[in-house]
Amino acid sequence: MRRRDENFPENGFEDGGGYMQVKIAKLEAQFSSCVGKEVTRLSNIFNGVSIYVNGFTKPSADELKELMAQHGGVYHTYQRSNDYIIASNLPDTKVKNMSLSKVVKPEWITESIAANSLLDYRKYLLYKNSRTQPQLNFNKLIATKIKTDESHLKDERENIEQNLTYDSDKGLNEMGKSSNVSTTDTKPVLNKVNRNDCLAKTAVDPNFISEFYNNSRLHHISQLGAFFKQHVNDLRDSSDFSFPARTALKNNILSSSHTSLHADTSFDNGKVIMHIDMDCFFVSVGLRKRPELRGKPVAVTHSKGSKPQTKREGVDRNTEFNLYKQKQAKKLGKVTGKTEDEIFIESRVDNVGDEDNEYGSLSEIASCSYEARAKGIKNGMFMGPALKLCPNLQTIPYDFEGYKEVAYTLYNTIAQYTLDIEAVSCDEMYVDCTELLKDLKVSVQDFATALRQEIKDKTGCPCSTGFGSNRLQSRLATKRAKPDGQFFLTSDLVEDFMFSISLKDLPGVGRQTSQKLESLGHQTCGSLQTLTLGLLQRHLGNKTGAQLFDQCRGRDPNPLTFHTIRKSVSAEVNYGIRFETNDQCFHFLKQLSAEVHSRMQQFKVLGKCITLKLMVRAEEAPVETAKFMGHGFCNVLNKSSNLTNATNDIEIITKEVISLCKKQKLDPKELRGIGIQISKLEQVMSKPNNSGISKFLNKNKNVPGSNWTPKVENDVGTSCDVKNQIKVEDNTKYSITPKKKNTSSHINKSPKHELKSSPVKRRGRPPKSLKYSLMNAKSSMDKFLGGEIQVKEELPAQTVPEIIKEETPKSSDSNQDGLLSLSWEKVRELLRAWLDSGQSPKLCDTRMIASYLSKLVAKKDIDKVYILMNFLKRRTHEIDMDIWIEVYNYVLEDVQNSMIAVYGNKLWINN
């Protein structure tokens, strides 16, 4: 840039002081001219007041310009020294480099007009404390003590209750998402010292964790969700998949006077997926005990009302809230390419007042009625802004026992007709109704009507259902069906339906992705359909781009998951974390490790990866948080440790967690949240398994002299007993002795036969090269799939009793190594018999196969793993059922994780 003292060529603006001075004078003249001619003067409220609008505001800059003209004020397009700066949000760079003494919220203008007088601007300052002034160092409190007299003790406890929030499961989320500053509302954790004193507990208290989880609503809700996912698993494991209740349902539908003559509906690919969701679940359950509130705006929350609280020293809500917004704006700026000034962040705290304000409650609304939603209230909104929108909002408490009761009824009602259920939460699920509807031979419309009525009769709560050919379509259909309705997204409606769907309504499209798409000029699915796959992937990445390319057209390739597999176990606390010493911190880590250990025992899992999450107060954040004892604005650190062997040993977990914490060398006074997560889980088989394969392995084990052989069919369909030998060299050879076909035998009955087998023999050392192993295994696989099986006569069964005796498990206890106790050929044929059984696979069987293959990887028997995985892939895809594809994907994930751990590479699988 040229310096000011350099000579510039003449440009015609010299007499006016330069181009900018002339431009400013011209704009002010235009404003004066507009005031004199076009705008009707309504009052002189802002006589002598000039404003400058900085950034996005509500009302907008143009609207404020007109208001100032109507009421005697001056609007400057360029800022002058005596202007009041009108702003709703300022980026951190501006906050640091400007005086904040006259930065005022736009409400100052609108509320002054409403009052017909100029109000004190100081009550509307965007920042109450100037950032240019030195900050006061308030002492950090281990516990906040609130002194009251006896008559006000109850009110103070309610005030604290309105302000306390916990988040045991989700931790810190960005502003404007499902959780902000701190998300889980709870009842207060208080110690009553005497009649006049209440002492809030912190993490230093030995009973803190137990009371924390007893009061945490998100903990209860997440536990309910996990419980019903496991409930579906248990129902499937114990079921014979016969559904006698279908007959009654069919008769009920056919005899109903409301049965309509619907034309046959057609869904893409012949699939009929139902999404079922209870309407305003928490509210609906709560209103069963409060019928007088039906039809009124109602919210479920811990808050009791709008009583102002005593303001705590050191709290600066505006600064804390704006730090969240600035962080989010920076993220969006990187995604969209916009400057921070061009990005407006709308969040739940925009209209929250100070603690001593009647609209200052930060208690979170978990659920609200449709009457409340009509007033602008939403789930997740804080009570302060909600009361501004609806002063007569009624509140009801949580009813966790009621939620569990209704959820049980919901799941068991569906389970009596089908178990093709993917549990989502305690009040939401997906159901594959394809087979069910074929069996019932009724229209999907009549089925939905009857099912919803049955659920409403049993629970007293309404629900909505959506139907489509995949999970995406059914979920979007449910949104159209609400409240208390049903919608069918048939194949002929998909194209037009998806065209107008907002991109924000697509699952997985969050704030950053939607902002990025908006910057490209796309807000609806119809608009996005104009972009090619390559262009989407170039802007959003391969995975997200491909996902959105399908989603905007109503396509979703992901099948339903009927068996839910737990991926991790965790425990997190981000309320009440206030330490003075490292010893206090380490003692708490021991307690939290014990909580994680208890949960691992509950789920019967071991884990290999331990992750410690630490929330540390950001340097620029106030010491006292906006939420009483909450975590405030933090930096989040995640550190992990990978163990050699999976474990749930509490001493090992505690040792690793404390070691990870010590390595960070943090000041314990700055900690605001702590979480421990165990991942890379393995299932613990604590007692004999009653699964199909286990029963097959252990059948007749107590019958003297009984030797069994699994009955299978080979690739050409002939029945044979498994008698084989294997040699693993450069080529693998198999020999199976056939028997005469017994027409009275059936594949799935596993009759008694005698087995002759020799132990696995390996010549030479195992291959040192993974590539060599895979080439060798591929040759074996080609022969296996090609049916190149050598057949020869073997010695009579009576000549090898010792071999059979040696290989057959003596008892269930001897089967602790699972399939490793059998020869590899037996496992291979047993796997084939399982796949050809015609029965639905059980989770315990799938886990057994996955565990066996993972152990083969650990033993570096890659050739066997390669053969079995490719065989499993081929057969499961030939069966062409979603549940068997899920089996393959589950096993593949375990095998690939083991491969990475042992070799650092994944196993190559044939296409």
Catalytic residues: 428
Specify the pairing of strand 605-617 against strand 719-721. unpaired
CB 625 within 8 A of CB 320: yes
Residue 294 DSSP one-character state: T
In angstroms, rounded to a whole number, what is the distance separating the alpha carbons of residues 542 and 533?
Answer: 9
Sequence-separated (6 or more) residues with CB below 8 Å from residue 444 = 262, 265, 272, 433, 437, 467, 488
Angle, CA 291 vertex, CA 285 and CA 292 arms, to 5°:
140
Cβ contacts of 421 within 8 Å, gap of 6 or more: 232, 411, 414, 415, 429, 430, 431, 562
- For residues 322 and 89, the answer to whether their CB atoms sit within 8 Å is yes
C-alpha 667/C-alpha 688 separation (Å) is 49
Q: What is the dihedral of CA 875, 879, 883, 887, to 10 degrees?
A: 0
The side-by-side arrangement of strands in the sheet containing 463-468 is 421-425, 428-432, 273-278, 463-468, 486-488
What are all long-range contacts of 819-822, with beta carbons under 8 Å and residues at least 24 apart?
819/848, 819/849, 819/851, 819/852, 820/852, 820/855, 822/697
Report the residue count for the chain: 911
**Which are the contacts of 418, defined by CB distance < 8 A and separation ≥ 6?**
243, 431, 432, 433, 435, 436
DSSP 734: E
Give the number of other CB atoms < 10 A from CB of residue 234.
Answer: 10
Which tokens hold the place of 760? 């696995």
What is the residue type of 815?
N
Helix (H, G, I), strand (E, B) or coil at 649: coil
> Which residues make Cβ contacts (< 8 Å) with residue 17, sequence separation at least 6?
none
Please give the structure tokens belonging to residue 480: 């159209």
Instruction: Count Cβ atoms below 10 Å from residue 324 Cβ, excluding itself.
Output: 22
* Residue in this structure with the two tokens 């139907």, named with its chain if needed: 467
